[in-house]
Amino acid sequence: MLNRFEGKVIAIAGGSGGIGSSVAKRLASEGAAVLVGDINFPAAQQTAVEIAEAGGIATPMTLDIGDETSVQHFVAAATRLYGGLDGFHVNALDSSRAAGDTDAVAMDMADYDAMTAVNMRGYFLCTRHAVPALVARGGGGLLYTSSGSAYAGLDSRPAYSMIKSSIHALARHVASRWGKQGVRSNVIAPGLIMHPAAEAAVGADYGEKVLQGLPVTRLGKPEDIAAMAALLLSEDGAFITGQVISVDGGASMRP
């Protein structure tokens, strides 16, 4: 395994679950001290324990990206515990109102407001407080998790698609505004990534149906996203900024 993050400090908002936990473990395996933030503290703690058992360095924290004070404390903890911040991955998602994300006419505005308050405003808050910490360190990487839904013309889930598209705009803004101060900003847009929670949500049959339309031999795994995250947050990705990179097994090629 490479040691691309030796001496680096990376914070992950949404660091438990399939993708977040896999990214945290990958970065720690390459030498990073990882701050694992999640609204589900026991899950964040479990990720940190598994990293420590593998010989890595990680600290779990409760983090609600919809609460600015919580985000401030999370970013400040990177400096307090490890001396600074070299990278920040915003991966959190509140899907508790997803069932109400029907269409633009029928959707209850309370569901819309709740979804955007965390999944769009929360990403903005993380950016607002991570950028100064990265600049103070001499630069670093901001990485966001989006979705292939940002590109699709779906007949449902309008709020989800709008939210994911907004993340792309935010990343390009950061890349343009703070690039000369050493801050790079990119987005990973995953396709269907299978892990226990995802399989429970969509079912194995749906996964097999998706696979039939892909030009690859398997569905995505959290490790696929972790590998791309490690590239984009490391010096190997130093000339990549303002980009949205699809890690979707070729799904975005479909008409």
Q: Cβ of 204: how many Cβ atoms within 10 Å?
A: 11
HSE-up of 243 (CA within 13 Å, CB side)? Answer: 15
Catalytic residue among 82, 151, 160, 206: 160
Annotated catalytic, 160?
yes
Contact 46, 18 (CB under 8 A): no
- Give backbone dihedrals phi and psi of 86, rounded to 5 degrees, phi first: -110, -20
CA dist., res. 222 & res. 90, Å (int): 15
Rg of the chain on CA atoms, in Å: 17
Contact 83, 9 (CB under 8 A): yes
CA dist., res. 190 & res. 207, Å (int): 14
The residue type of 152 is A
Q: Which residues pair with 89 in a beta bridge?
A: 12, 143
Q: Which residues contact 242 (CB under 8 A, 6 or more apart)?
A: 171, 172, 175, 176, 179, 185, 186
Q: Which residues are catalytic?
A: 160
